[in-house]
Structures are given as C-alpha cells and as structure tokens.
Chains A and B, each alone.
Chain A
Amino acid sequence: MTTFAIVGAGQTAAVATRTLRRRGFDGRIEVIGAEPYPPYQRPPLTKEYLAGGDDDLFLLDEKWCAANDVHLRLGQRAVRVRPSEWAVELADGSQVRADKVLIATGGAARHLPGVRGDRVHYLRTLDDATKLRELISPGVRLIVIGAGFIGSEVAATAHRKGADVTVIDTLDAPMQRVLGRELGAVCAAIHRGNGVAVRLGEPVESVVEHADAVIVTTAGARLEGDYVVVGVGITPNIEVAQRSGVTVDNGVLVDEYCRTNVPNIFAAGDIANHYHPLFDELIRVEHFDNANKQAAAAANNMLGNPTIFDDPHWFWSDQYDVNIQHTGHARTWDELVIRGSVDELDFCAFYLRDGRIRAAFAVDRGADVAMAKELISGRVLVNAHHLKDESIDLSELLETEQAW
C-alpha cells in the first residue's frame, strides 16, 4: 500500500491530509508531530483563545483519523527523510515507511539573544498561549516587544482583558515590513486610539528580570512591567530538511508545484520558501491562508495532479474592533492609492507598480480586498483615478480594464 508521510502536525498537515482523502488517495497517511497535540489552529492563540475563549481549536479528531486510516504520531520528532529507503527516521530510532513526504515543519518563535526568564514569554504554541492567558488579567503591566502581527494582536487582546499594555518596536511603524511606513502608522494610531502605548524606533537595549518586575530599557525609556511578551517573528524549522539533503535557504526551497530538489519530497506552509509565478520571486509566507492553500496544492501534486500554487496570498488580523486584511506582495511600489477614508478607518490602500496592483491593505474593507485579489491575480492594468472613485464598483475594473 502507498504511504504518504507528513512531517509536522499543524494547519498545513491537517489540510493536506483532508485534501488527500477528498481527492481519493486510498493509501496510508502518517502525520508526525513534535508537539503532543493533534493539529490545531494557531490564529485564535493571539485572539479568542488568549482572551479566554474555549472554542475547539483542533482540526483532525481521533474518530475521523481512525475512520480514514490517518495515523497521528504525536510528541515524536522526525530526524530525517531517507528517500533511498522510503522512510522517515524518528528520534527514537524507529522508521516510518513513506513513498512520498510533505515537509510541513513550520517555524519556532525567534528568540531575542539573552532575553529569557520567568517573566518573559514567547507565543507560538498552544502551551505558550495557555501559559500566557493565565497571566493576563486586569491591571497587569504587559510590555510587548515587536509590533508585528503577533505583538499587535497580543497587545489588543491583553488590552481588552484590562491589562496595561506598552508595545515597543525597533522600526518606525507597526508591521512596517509589509505595509510600509505610511500605512504602518495607521496601525500605530489604532493602538494608541484604544489606549495602548506604542514606542517606535526604539531598539530594546536590555531586559532584566527582578523578583517582582521586569525592566525593559530602550534608548529613550526605562519601562517596568509584570511580564514581557516577545513577538519578533519565527525561525523556520529547517533541520529535518537539511539532514535529508533538501536545499534550504530561508526555509525549504520549493518550486511552484511545492517540490523540493529531492524527488518525492514536497514542502508547504510557513517552512516553504516558494517560487511564486505571479510575483516572479521566492516568497516565504507565515500565514494561515497560505498554509491552507499551499497544503491543498501540495497534496494534489503528491497525488500526481500537477497544480501550480499561485494564490496572491492573503491574511487578516482582528485587533480591537477593527478587521485588517492584506493581499498580494509588494517589496516596492511606485504609487499608493487610497479608496475610502484613512481617518475614519474605513479604507483600502492599493500598492501599485507599473500600473498594476501588487498588494492591497484594508481596514474594515474586506470586500475591496476580495476584488483586489482578483485584480492582482489577473495582472489587470488599473487606472488610479478609477480605484479611488467610490462610485465605480471595483468589479467593473475587473471587467473593463484588461491585462495586457
């Protein structure tokens, strides 16, 4: 019988498993995960779950797995794939037979050198979130280092739970790497408008733990808190790939079919530095929707149904009462076009290069983002005046402004 193994047991593994079954794969599926839990959703860990919610986070339940010949090997670390032996080697020395392997090892919270201690928390796993949510309560002084997505969402949730929150970032605006300085500033304004202190352009100089507090110093301030949460990104878990002869460069390198350089080894999700045909560059994306869509594409490719992964990428973030969404990929742009009102936090911003939308960022404008995805995927040439004009429905641009 054919066996497919998935190394890693997160969102990507769950979606790949379900896709394999939905597409008629009738072999055995082995899912190998280092954490003790079956695959679970991470987005709620900074939002609903952190706030104390008890929604079910788990993605593949035991009954479904049993009925579908899916074998979860949890709390077990894969060491390497041995393609010549059709096997995955585990840390306990045992081998799992596999005809094809999907590497979906994701990443681990990036640690700031020397920043650790009982009052210092990183947030990546369910255990991390469980620990942290017990500590966040009214009046707790929380210092969040990093104003990216994790830091921003933790700040918003903790504030809502009554904590006294300060966010610090080295850069001049939250989420600056993705949004740029101008629109990152909108996110800073959202934090401040809700009563969260934000200190930008201030690299952390030291974090020192005392018996009853933790002191964070920057060039401009000395802050005292009860706890520190560090959200400075993830480090891709490349070890299994490296030991397997798979080429690694900022994650696992894959082509548009999710294939690595080693036959029968694929990769998807946070770990996959993938060639993206639409943007014509290598991209590694650490978001839920990418995990879902790339996992589905990888599963199809493992089944021998060639499927190009060229989704324009999309993510959302819910902070305070606002819904933030972003689609596309733009390292540089030559024009930023705003539809709606930034001041009223009701807008979609389009990042244009050479007359085409490369990315879009919206606050409470999910419908515009849905259209932006289509315009990006279709490589449609757009007129900035039309994008701004709210009397024009964006769907009209899709119909009238053709790709060259």
Chain B
Amino acid sequence: MADWLAVAELSELSRRKKKQVEVAGEPVALFLVGSQVFALADTCIHKQRSLSKGVLLNGCVVCPGHQWEFDPATGYEATQDRYQPSYDIRVEDGTVFVSTRPRENPQELREALTAGSSTS
C-alpha cells in the first residue's frame, strides 16, 4: 500500500487553484477544480515543462510548453493516447493528502469515469 503525505491546506488552493508540492522527491502539481482536488506529476511527459505553471481551462490542465491538455482526474491528454502520471488524493479537515506513489492503472480509472459519464 502507498502511504499518504500531507502536502497542503485546501485554503492554499482557493485563489490560484494550483500549487506545486513535492512527493517522494518528485514535483507534483495540485489542481482545484470546483470543489475537487487532483494531483498530476508536475513535469510534463512531452517536453518537461512545469504543469503547475500552466492554466486550468474548461476542466483541463493546459501545459504552458506546447498547450497539451490533460484531464486532471486521469492524467490523459485530450487527443492522444498518452497520460501524465496521476496520484490519489484525500482531503481531511482541510488538509490535502497525496498518495506517495502514482496510480498504477490510470487506464482503468479513465474507463470507469467514461462509463460513469455515459450512463448519467
């Protein structure tokens, strides 16, 4: 089992909606979308730019390097079958906890979310 690491207070995300933190020596980008917090590896898989320097637009994380658009929930890029590593998140009493290891099967998560949205 992966451990949980307290990395930020929820209130720190309220204005900019994003924050770079460190998890197990790796930079991780937190994003607040609506009332939900998501965590992606901060270093873009494309050209190693920092996603936390990008923007949240229409529910997507847009990388500042070359405008790749990632789904903050799964890490998948909008038009390509590639994904940014993503982390599980837990929020307790206003503190954000990140799993110390990235998810192993983001494709399963994406399938589950796709199935959920098509039936709702």
Chain A positions near chain B (C-beta within 8 angstroms): 289, 292, 296, 314, 316, 318, 323, 325, 365-367, 369-371, 374, 393, 395
**Which of B30-38, B51-59, B88-96, B99-107 contacts the other chain?**
B51-59
B79 contacts the other chain (CB 8 A): yes
- Contact A366 B63, beta carbon cutoff 8 Å: yes
- Asked if A367 meets B65 with Cβ closer than 8 Å, knowing A292-B79, A393-B16, the reply is no
Chain B stretch 62-81: residues in CB contact (< 8 A) with chain A: 62-67, 79
Is B49 an interface residue, CB under 8 A from the partner? yes
Contact B55 A370 (CB under 8 A): yes
- Let me know if B64 and A367 touch, CB within 8 A: yes
- Show 8 A/B contacts (Cβ-Cβ < 8 Å), sorted by A: A316-B66, A323-B66, A366-B62, A366-B67, A367-B53, A367-B54, A370-B64, A371-B57
- Whether A366 pairs with B57 at a CB distance below 8 angstroms is no
Query: How far does the Cβ of A211 sit from chain B's closest Cβ, in whole Å?
Result: 42
A374-B57, A395-B55 given; A369·B16 CB < 8 A? no
* Cα distance A12–B16 in the bound complex, in angstroms: 37
Q: B residues touching A (Cβ–Cβ < 8 Å)? A: 16, 47, 49, 53-55, 57, 62-67, 79
CB–CB B79/A366 < 8 A: no
Chain A residues near B79 (CB-CB < 8 A): 292, 296
How many angstroms between the C-alpha atoms of A374 and B56 in the bound complex? 12
Between B65, B67, B79, the greatest number of chain A beta carbons within 10 A of the residue's beta carbon is seen for B67
Q: Which of B16, B49, B64 has the most CB of A within 10 A?
A: B64
Is the Cβ of B65 less than 8 Å from the Cβ of A314?
A: no
Q: Taking CB as reference atom, which chain A residue is nearest B63?
A: A366
Question: Which residues of B lie under 8 Å from residue A371 when comparing CB positions?
Answer: 55, 57
B67 and A370 within 8 A (CB): yes
| 8 residue pairs, one from A and one from B, having the closest CB atoms | A366-B64, A370-B62, A367-B64, A367-B55, A370-B55, A367-B54, A316-B66, A366-B65
Q: How far is the CA of A316 from the CA of B47 in the complex (A)?
A: 13
**Nearest chain B CB to A334's CB is how many angstroms away?**
27
- Chain A residues near B63 (CB, 8 Å)? 366
Which B residues lie within 8 Å of A325 (CB)?
67
Please name the residue on chain A nearest to B64 by beta carbon. A366
Q: Name A's interface SS.
A: helix
Q: Which residues of A contact B55 (CB under 8 A)?
A: 367, 370-371, 395
Q: Which residues from chain A contact B62 at a C-beta distance below 8 Å?
A: 366-367, 370
Q: What separation, in Å, do the CA atoms of A139 and B65 have in the docked complex?
A: 31
Q: For residue A289, which residue of chain B has the nearest CB?
A: B67
Q: How far is the CA of A314 from the CA of B64 in the complex (A)?
A: 13
Chain A contacts for B49, CB-based, 8 A: 323, 366
User: Cβ of A314: which chain B residues have Cβ within 8 Å of it?
Assistant: 67
Please name the residue on chain A nearest to B15 by beta carbon: A393
Chain A min CB distance to B78 (Å): 11
Cα–Cα distance between A97 and B65 once the two chains are bound (Å): 42
Alpha-carbon distance A3/B47, docked complex (angstroms): 38
Give Cα distance in the complex from A146 to B118, angstroms: 51
Q: A323-B66, A366-B49 are in contact. List 17 more A-B contacts (CB 8 A).
A: A296-B79, A316-B66, A316-B67, A318-B47, A323-B49, A323-B65, A365-B64, A366-B64, A366-B66, A367-B53, A367-B54, A370-B54, A370-B55, A370-B62, A371-B55, A371-B57, A395-B55
Closest A residue by C-beta to B56: A395
Tell me which residues across on chain A come within 8 A of B16, comparing CB atoms. Answer: 393
Q: Which residue of B lies closest to A393 (CB)?
A: B16
Task: Give the nearest-CB partner of A15 in chain B.
Answer: B79
Whether B65 pairs with A370 at a CB distance below 8 angstroms is no
Can you name the residue of chain B whose Cβ is closest to the Cβ of A19? B79
Residues of B within 8 A of A318 (CB): 47
Closest to B16 in A: A393
Residue in A369, A393, A395 whose CB lies within 8 Å of B67: A369
Shortest B9–chain A CB gap in Å is 20
How far in angstroms is the closest Cβ of chain A from B61?
10
A279 to chain B, nearest CB (A): 19
CA distance A370 to B54 in the complex (A): 8
Distance in Å from the Cβ of A153 to the closest Cβ of chain B?
A: 14
Given the complex, which residues of B lie within 8 Å of A292, measured CB to CB?
79
Docked CA distance A250–B66 (Å) = 28
Q: How far is the CA of A369 from the CA of B64 in the complex (A)?
A: 8
- Minimum CB–CB distance for A136 against chain B, Å: 22
Q: How far is the CA of A369 from the CA of B16 in the complex (A)?
A: 17
A367, B65: Cα distance in complex, Å: 8
Chain A residues lying within 8 Å of B64, measured Cβ to Cβ, are 323, 365-367, 369-370
Which of B16, B57, B63, B66 counts the most A-chain CB atoms under 10 A from its CB? Answer: B66
Min distance, Cβ A243 to any Cβ of chain B, angstroms:
34
A41: shortest Cβ distance to chain B, in Å? 12
